Structure 1
């Protein structure tokens, strides 16, 4: 079982020193190197730090990590969000599926459908659905962003304007209580602002690690979207703000109390 006071001390030292070493932490906290490595892995999955060889550093909040790195963070949480999102889809729908690790997990859930019209700016999502289903797949044009095989830029946004979607599924960089939905780069923010104007239902997929974070670009206020899906019941202050903005919040059902 993870020791919360030890985790808090690790984060305190990281905030103070910007960089921490496994060997130093193990000696100072009187635990094994393996225990510290397990703690760092847990904190990385929470988005609190970034592991490096021999230790960890602070995450770079204004720079999004490559898809390969992000896919290893909170995979179970993303799978839960994807499962809930797939429950909104019906055969014959027209969808836009944005780039991202959670939306890629969603695409994996949609391979059982056969009559969807899917527009995407993710080469990975397009390939997955094309190889494993007979759904119609349309790939946007745009500039290729190599760290996640995403197509972005003005050509992408202009192309997305040609269609109307039953649902637009979107990832997000961060969810801030005061600012709203935030991203790392302006091109993806512009695309998401376009999508909410071209769909019947705009669905943001945000695992619990996205809440309480702040990135570089203010993308959308809460009131601009119709639905937010997360893997856990979201904090009460966020829930109140989303409810005030008439956003439908979907999370897993909690088991009844004994």
Structure 2
């Protein structure tokens, strides 16, 4: 049995090497590996679930390498999708109660819809969002303390966890560098992932805001698991991408950029 497992691992490594070299079709991969196409499809299915590859029509490609971007760069990416996602997420805000807004460019678009929404307490780990909402009438804004991350500007560390342990939020709106139907939200560091996991634990409902680029496999090192029944708001429309989320019990809210 151990020999079989070693053989499978070896084949997976060779399969990934072929994909990186540009061989992407199932039949060509099967010929190169001297196995049946059904074996290749089975291997690709396993590697897809692990987040190592993305399935394509007739084959697969390797997951995109992960590169954490500066917040100033992120705000310029996918602006129409993020605007539509933010508007759709605003429809999930409770009439009153406590909500959590994550740091990041997509949650910032949601924050634009909060002024004028009296009766909400907004907890955030984003200095930018806290400052934007600080003067909004009828909102109580709570900025959890902690260490400021250099690229995302999100607050992390034990002080954040200490504050969150004393709160229960009705709805938590999370962003992420990557999203997976089983693994949850992907982050570049353990402190970032730990904050999101803690927020999810303290929330009655978790809503993840992610444009389609975040749903493609990335080599993100750290993951925050999410509770059952979380909600995904996205502009992704490909059923092959979204079906694994629905199968995992995730409620998908689709948006159309330009028509939020």
Q: Same fold (TM over 0.5)?
A: yes
**Alignment check: 8 A CA contact 2:207 2:231 kept:** yes
Aligned length: 195
Which residue is equivalent to 1:138? 142
Tell me how far 1:108 sits from its aligned partner: 0.7
Q: Distance in 1 between matches of 2:152 and 2:182?
A: 29
Rounded to whole Å, the distance in 1 between the matches of 2:69 and 2:137 is: 29
**What does the per-residue CA deviation read over 1:196-237, in whole Å, with 9 as the maximum and x for residues that have no partner?**
21111100101011111311212226x64510100232x323
What's the Cα RMSD here?
2.3
Inter-partner Cα distance in structure 1 for 2:132 and 2:179? 28
- Unaligned runs of 5+ residues in structure 2 are 1-19, 22-63
- Partner residue in 1 for 2:246: 243
Shift of 1:112: 2.3
Give the C-alpha shift of residue 180 in structure 1.
4.4
Q: CA deviation at 1:147?
A: 3.0
* Pairing partner for 1:65 from 69, 82, 86: 69
Preserved contact between residue 164 and residue 199 of structure 1 (Cα < 8 Å): yes
CA contact (8 A) 1:231 1:252 kept: yes
CA distance in 2, matches of 1:253, 1:100: 20
For the 8 Å contact 2:107–2:173, the answer to whether it is kept is yes
Aligned-residue offset at 1:151: 1.2
- Which structure has the greater CA radius of gyration? 2
Q: Distance in 1 between matches of 2:192 and 2:65?
A: 16
2: CA distance, partners of 1:155 / 1:163:
13
Give the TM-score normalised by structure 2. Answer: 0.69
Q: How much does 1:155 deviate?
A: 1.4
Aligned-residue offset at 1:157: 1.9
Map of 2:78 onto structure 1:
74
